[in-house]
A and B are shown apart, each in its own frame.
Chain A
Amino acid sequence: VEHVGYKPTLNKNPPLKGLKTASTFVLEQPRCVFDKYSNADIWLVVALEQTAAAFNDSVEPGTPESAYQSFPASVPAYMTLNATLANYPCPKPTGDITVLRVGSETSCAHDMARYTCNGPLPGPGPYQVKFLALEGSEPVAETDWSDPITLETAKSLSSISTTDGRHSAGMIALTTILSILFAILLAGLVAMLVFWGSDSCGGSSSTFSKPEAVTVQRYNTHHVYDQPAARL
């Protein structure tokens, strides 16, 4: 089996938000790696870091020994994402986004008829992957194992603390000033009522009269008409 000097890596370009989620990760496609093997099927082998060494290259894909559904309980690794060299043309056209999303097929995860399902990964890992080229059922080339890939683990939502709101300065200032103003007004009201009727505050010089309601009555009598005559 020829050892091709390529190490599978997570996709670098463009930056992907979903590069690693809780059950999937995104690999670069192995372009310009298996150019000599135009007849071969290129498979992806997914193993846990601690079971990678136990994987035997002669295991055939699509059998119970390499089934996704038996991983990691009874098999050290599973094989999936079958492709040929035509799927990985060399060189890669710039501008295209070419990736391999490991874990994207949810429909066949429990389908025992599909051993090569690219199902969601069962735990946070760490995982190691490599590409294996098979002609017929004979392995002819393989890449290095990748660096260990550890997936995201979600924290429990009850760990979110919602009681850390501190009182802002504005609220404290507002409360204080309003309380003081209200207290002054109440004091003023009390003072007003206590000194109701007493002249000690202000005295008679600052009191003022209400505007009197003066009514003018016209007396239509003889006196009014006679007065101008009397003056003259």
Chain B
Amino acid sequence: MAKSDDCIHILQGLLVFGNAVIGMCGIALTAECIYFVSDPHGLYPLLEATENNDIYAAAWIGIFVGFALFALSILGIVGVIKSDRTLLLVYIILMLITFAFEMASCITAATHRDFLTPNLFLKQMLERYQKSDPANNNDQRMTEGVTKTWDKLMLQNHCCGVLGPSDWQNYTSAFRATHSDADFPWPRKCCVMDAQGVPVNLDGCKLGVPGYYNSDGCYDAISGPMNTHAWGVAWFGFAILCWTFCVLLGTMFYWSGIEY
């Protein structure tokens, strides 16, 4: 019996360690998802206007799953040390529910990241940037959000359009409907600005003289943070779930061995 006592103690020790790691990862997941939800790059209005902001829903689920994992890990540690069948059964069932939610969050984040292509943002920018006649309040709110976000993006990242200033030349747009091509081949925010926010050389910008306008596209500045967000939620969640899987299997094995 001594040998199996040792085995039991080793299994208990492993399960306690496993649950401790789950608890810490739960806190980390909550912190990471709070960071993403706080939208440090200010890109949420663009997603809201695509009506496809599920990677934010995935981050919100991640916050609550993180707390749940932390609480359940404590329950698990208590249950393993006391070898209480009821506690451990409750733990296993609640953990399975949490597992399901976190699985949903990971798959949502990964799937919806794939929808965020350059063409999606291009079409949205052309349809909404500086649109002058919104259809209703909701439309107005989304238009303002998109316009402000693009202005900020183009100013801070020294870029123009999604793929470049030629976006404004190659396609019709709501911007083109109110701003003539001769005066505004591309928006003023695409011009190189001085400290006061005034174009350094307006004629140079309109002509497209290198050095007086922003020639790069903004897609990298959008897709970088969004990729980090989506993959951070999806892959970190995946790693936690793999670890949780092992701990749960061990707990089930432990549970079935407890004398009742």
Taking Cβ atoms with an 8 Å cutoff, the residues of A that contact B are 14-19, 21-24, 26, 97, 99, 101, 103-106, 119-120, 152, 154-157, 159-162, 164-168, 170-171, 174-175, 177-179, 181-182, 184-186, 188-189, 191-192, 195, 197, 201-202, 205-211
> A19–B208 contact, CB under 8 A?
yes
Q: Contacting A210 at CB < 8 Å: which of B99, B248, B255, B258?
A: B258
> A106–B256 contact, CB under 8 A?
no
Taking Cβ atoms with an 8 Å cutoff, the residues of B that contact A are 4-5, 8, 82-83, 92-93, 96, 99-100, 103, 106-107, 110-111, 113-117, 119-120, 122-123, 126-127, 165-166, 169-173, 176, 180-183, 185, 204, 206-210, 213, 215, 231, 234-235, 238, 241-242, 245, 248-249, 252, 255-260
Bound-complex Cα distance A21 to B127 (A): 20
- Identify the interface centre among B92, B206, B257: most chain A CB within 10 Å of its CB: B206
Cβ–Cβ < 8 Å partners of A174 in chain B:
106-107, 110, 234-235, 238
The 10 closest A-B pairs by CB, nearest first: A17-B208, A18-B208, A171-B110, A120-B182, A22-B181, A157-B126, A160-B123, A207-B259, A16-B208, A23-B181
- Identify the interface centre among A119, A156, A160: most chain B CB within 10 Å of its CB: A160
> B173–A15 contact, CB under 8 A?
no
What is the interface of chain B mostly: helix, strand, loop, or mixed?
Answer: helix
Cβ–Cβ < 8 Å partners of A105 in chain B:
182
Bound-complex Cα distance A18 to B206 (A): 7
> A154–B207 contact, CB under 8 A?
no
> B110–A152 contact, CB under 8 A?
no
Bound-complex Cα distance A185 to B93 (A): 10
Given contacts A152-B169, A174-B107, contact A162 B252 (CB under 8 A): no
Cβ–Cβ < 8 Å partners of A201 in chain B:
256
> B182–A23 contact, CB under 8 A?
yes
> A184–B245 contact, CB under 8 A?
yes
- Identify the interface centre among A156, A157, A164: most chain B CB within 10 Å of its CB: A157
Bound-complex Cα distance A202 to B92 (A): 20
Cβ–Cβ < 8 Å partners of B96 in chain A:
185-186, 189
Cβ–Cβ < 8 Å partners of A154 in chain B:
169-172, 176
> B99–A165 contact, CB under 8 A?
no
Bound-complex Cα distance A18 to B203 (A): 11
- Identify the interface centre among A99, A154, A156: most chain B CB within 10 Å of its CB: A154
Bound-complex Cα distance A158 to B99 (A): 42
Cβ–Cβ < 8 Å partners of B260 in chain A:
197
Given contacts A106-B180, A165-B115, A211-B83, contact A14 B209 (CB under 8 A): yes
> B252–A14 contact, CB under 8 A?
no
Tell me the minimal C-beta distance from A196 to chain B in angstroms.
8
> A185–B182 contact, CB under 8 A?
no
Cβ–Cβ < 8 Å partners of B82 in chain A:
210
Given contacts A152-B169, A165-B117, contact A106 B257 (CB under 8 A): no
By beta carbon, the residue of chain B nearest A99 is: B207
Given contacts A17-B215, A23-B181, A168-B114, contact A208 B259 (CB under 8 A): yes
